[in-house]
Amino acid sequence: MAQSKTQFGYRRHADQDRTGANAAEYPVVVVGAGPVGLSLAIDLAQRGLPVVLLDDADRIGEGSRAICFSKRSLEVWDRLGVAQRMVDKGVVWKVGKIFLGKEMLYQFDLLPEDGHKMPAFINLQQYYAESYLVDRVQELPGIDLRWRNKVTGLEQHNDHAVLTIETPDGPYRLRAEYVAACDGARSALRGMVGAEFAGEVFEDQFLIADVKMTAEFPTERWFWFDPPFHSGQSALLHRQPDDVWRIDLQLGPDADPAIERLPENVRPRIERMLGHGDFKFEWISIYKFQCRRMQRFLHERVIFAGDSAHQVSPFGARGANSGLEDGENLAWKLAMVLRGDAPAALLASYEIERGLAADENIRASTRSTDFIAPHSKQERRLRQAVLSLAKEADFAKRMVNGGRLSVPSVYDSPLSSDDVDRWEGGPRPGAAMPDAPLTRANGEPIYLTESFKSAGGGFVLLESANGAAFDAPRDVGRIRVGAGAPLHDHAGLFARRYDATPGSAYLLRPDGYVAARFRHPTPVAIERAMARASGKG
Amino acid sequence: MALSTKSNFTDPDAAYRLIVEAHRGISDAQSADLDAALVLVLANHIGDLDVLREAIALAQRRMVAAGQQQQQQQ
């Protein structure tokens, strides 16, 4: 398999010599070096916290697995210093097409406007994403990544947790003020806190075959209902780097996975689809999926993020992307709490915000899955009615659901301050900041997300300048756009995307979500909104 | 907007007739298929989730009532 740097070595750490009550103590231990754990660890380290990152394996997992990374995920990774590598290697795409039989029903464009640093989506094998994240981890002195360190025990205390960790040299213990459980769908820590993981199991089985071939298909997401090559079922074709193509075929509830996964049985299916046999298998997997979540993401000193906390079907690319959004939501909150800049209550907002997002992702994913695999005769009939109407009626096109792709949730959050002024557009409190193209005084282009990245990593006041700068609270970063300000909105897109009138300002949280916005900001109002967004309100 | 259950057609017999005739001479399976499409077309024309919810609730109440009546007749 075309993987780079997948094997890592176990190294004994001095912490392993400490016994009993002498266990080494860290502010945060992150468990699980998948995309979520790696990204969270980088985010925490960039916020100045020393992090221990544990993984029970000593290699990056096989198979392409998650391949679609969203604009939001790339914006997070850009902040973490790894996005450019991902975009350079990845396949950039934004158009999806839906077919019924041989005929195209409709197509959609996920980013129909310019002026964003990051594309709508890239496709990139998960092993590349993880490998680039590991490289970034190794650049940061603050992260101690320990392979073949398997968490086997957990003790919760008032103000810390103690982990028992199994290694090739035997067990040792670590104390952590907080443990971030990013240990995936089969999370061992979830079992250790005794939490349930309940939800809906879907009976239909799907076959993933990643094949290597040279092909002329465009770089688009193609989804078929009832294709001529796979009658009565659905199919998906999507391009990855290195001439690898993701093919996903619905097999129905009765297929025998042991038989279906044999390459000699997969091959004729793919040949029927492609019309030739000139390909090699990269990865074959048969899966069923579940939509489920933990009731609570916070269990005393253990905080769950990513697949350990919630799981969705793959249609919509909401698995890894929502996990990365968990990480960006958690990182700044944990950092503020551990630095003593915010009360521990701020962490409750992680559970509220990301719990709502999980519900939204599960809802969207369940709807797609139900449309792709109807439960009853009548459900199938309604689905067929939508598909056949879609050929001539616009309303039915919009009901055709081959996966609604991941977009960041808008949080109804206790951290947000309600609008008091009139806004005709722009992101409302609880929404992620949209990007916009700007220029510096010397004419050099810069994206808004880039200036956010260099604005200090804390709360940031994004102002549409109106004359001289006013006194803002000391600990808030500033981005000033407009006449007489360091940045210019030459294309007018900032003004349009933020409904920005001179003098107005947005207060952005450290994760780039809007905390509050003001037509006429005052230091007192900003101070109050910041306190609220820090869990002090 | 609330679901309107007052009579909206000036000629309700003609409206009923139109629907009945659409089902003449086709199989039960085809009828079910036609109804499914018709429900979707009309639901979109209404374009209001609350009205649709009320309409579904009314249809479901009738289903329960019809079920009870049948039991009493047995």
Q: What is the ipTM of this complex?
A: 0.90
Contacts of B39 in chain A (CB under 8 A): 382, 385
User: Which residue in chain B is spatially nearest to A398 when comparing CA positions?
Assistant: B44
A chain contacts of residue B41, beta-carbon cutoff 8 Å? 389, 393
8 Å CB contact of B37 and A385: yes
In this structure, chain B runs to a length of 74
Domain that holds residue B68: 12-73
Going by C-beta distance under 8 Å and a sequence separation of 6 or more, which residues neighbour residue B19?
Answer: none
pTM recorded for the entire structure: 0.94
Residue B68 lies in a domain: yes
In this predicted structure, what is the pLDDT of residue A342? 97
In a domain, B44, yes or no: yes
Determine the residue of chain B that is closest to A393 in CA distance.
B41
Give the residue from chain A lying closest to B30, CA to CA: A381
Kindly list the residues from chain B whose CB atom is less than 8 angstroms away from the CB atom of residue A396: 40, 44
SS3 content of chain B, % helix, strand, coil (to 5): 75, 0, 25
Tell me which chain B residue has its CA closest to the CA of residue A394. Answer: B44
Q: Nearest-CA distance from B51 to chain A in Å?
A: 17
In a domain, B6, yes or no: no
Q: Which two tokens stand for residue B39?
A: 């429900």
pLDDT-derived band of residue B72, with 50, 70 and 90 as boundaries? Answer: low
Does residue B35 lie within any of the structural domains? yes
What are the φ and ψ backbone dihedral angles of B58, each rounded to 5 degrees? -60, -45
Indicate the residue of A378, A381, A395 with minimum beta-carbon distance to B44.
A395
In Å, the largest CA–CA distance within chain A is: 72
Q: Is the residue at B2 inside a domain? A: no
Indicate the residue type of A92. Answer: V
Q: Could A384 and B33 be called an inter-chain contact, meaning their C-beta atoms sit closer than 8 Å?
A: yes
Chain A window 363-402: which residues touch B at a Cβ cutoff of 8 Å? 378, 381-382, 384-386, 388-389, 393, 395-396, 399
- Residue A372: how many other CB atoms lie within 10 Å: 22
CB contact under 8 A, B36 and A382: yes
Q: How many domains does one find in chain B?
A: 1
Please report whether residue B30 resides in a domain. yes
Cβ contact, residue pair A385, B32, below 8 Å:
no
CA distance A382 to chain B (A): 5
Q: Cβ–Cβ of A388/B37 closer than 8 Å?
A: yes
Domains in chain A: ranges and CATH? 14-90+125-197+293-364 (3.50.50.60), 203-288 (3.30.70.2450), 437-533 (3.40.30.120)
With CA atoms as reference, the chain A residue closest to B42 would be A395
How many angstroms separate the CA of residue B35 from the nearest CA in chain A?
Answer: 9
One-character DSSP codes across A336-405: HHHHTSS-TTHHHHHHHHHHHHHHHHHHHHHHHHHHHS-SSHHHHHHHHHHHHHTTT-HHHHHH--S-PP
d(CA A145, CA A81): 18
Parallel, antiparallel or unpaired: strands A51-54 and A143-146: parallel
Residue B28 lies in a domain: yes
- A399/B40 Cβ within 8 A: yes
DSSP label of A482: S
Mutate to test the interface with A, among B27, B33, B39, B52 (most CBs of A within 10 A): B33
Q: Among A506, A409, A421, which residue's Cα sits nearest to residue A455?
A: A506
Name the one residue in this structure whose structure tokens are 């109050």.
A528
The backbone region for A164, taken as left when phi is positive above 0, alpha when psi lies in -120 to 50, beta otherwise, is beta
Cβ distance A395 to B37 less than 8 Å, yes or no, reads no
Closest CA to A385 of A367, A373, A399, A368: A399
> Which single residue is written with the structure tokens 């590598």?
A85
Cβ–Cβ below 8 Å for B36 and A381: yes
For residue B50, is it within any domain?
A: yes
Cα–Cα–Cα angle for A232, A237, A242, rounded to 5 degrees: 155
Q: How far is CA A116 from the centre of its chain?
A: 18
Task: Say how far residue A61 (Cα) sits from the centre of its chain.
Answer: 18
Split at pLDDT 50, 70, 90, the class of B71 is low
Cβ within 8 Å, pair A381-B32: yes
Which of A381, A393, A399 faces B33 most closely, judged by CB atoms? A381
Helix, coil or strand: residue A205: strand
Contact list, B37 vs chain A (CB under 8 Å): 385, 388-389
Per-residue pLDDT of chain A (537 residues; tens, 9 = 90+): 444 557 898 999 999 999 878 999 999 999 999 999 999 999 999 999 999 999 999 988 878 889 999 999 999 999 999 999 999 999 999 999 999 999 999 999 999 999 999 999 999 999 999 999 999 999 999 999 999 999 999 999 999 999 999 999 999 999 999 999 999 999 999 999 999 998 999 999 999 999 999 988 999 999 999 999 999 999 999 999 999 999 999 999 999 999 999 999 999 999 999 999 999 999 999 999 899 999 999 999 999 999 999 999 988 999 999 999 999 999 999 999 999 999 999 999 999 999 999 999 999 999 999 999 999 999 999 999 999 999 999 999 999 999 999 999 999 999 999 999 999 999 999 999 999 999 999 999 999 999 999 998 999 999 999 877 778 888 899 999 998 899 999 999 999 999 999 999 999 999 999 999 999 999 999 999 999 999 997
> By three-state DSSP, how is residue A500 classified?
coil
Residue A419, min C-alpha distance to chain B (Å): 27
Structure tokens at A29: 């231990």
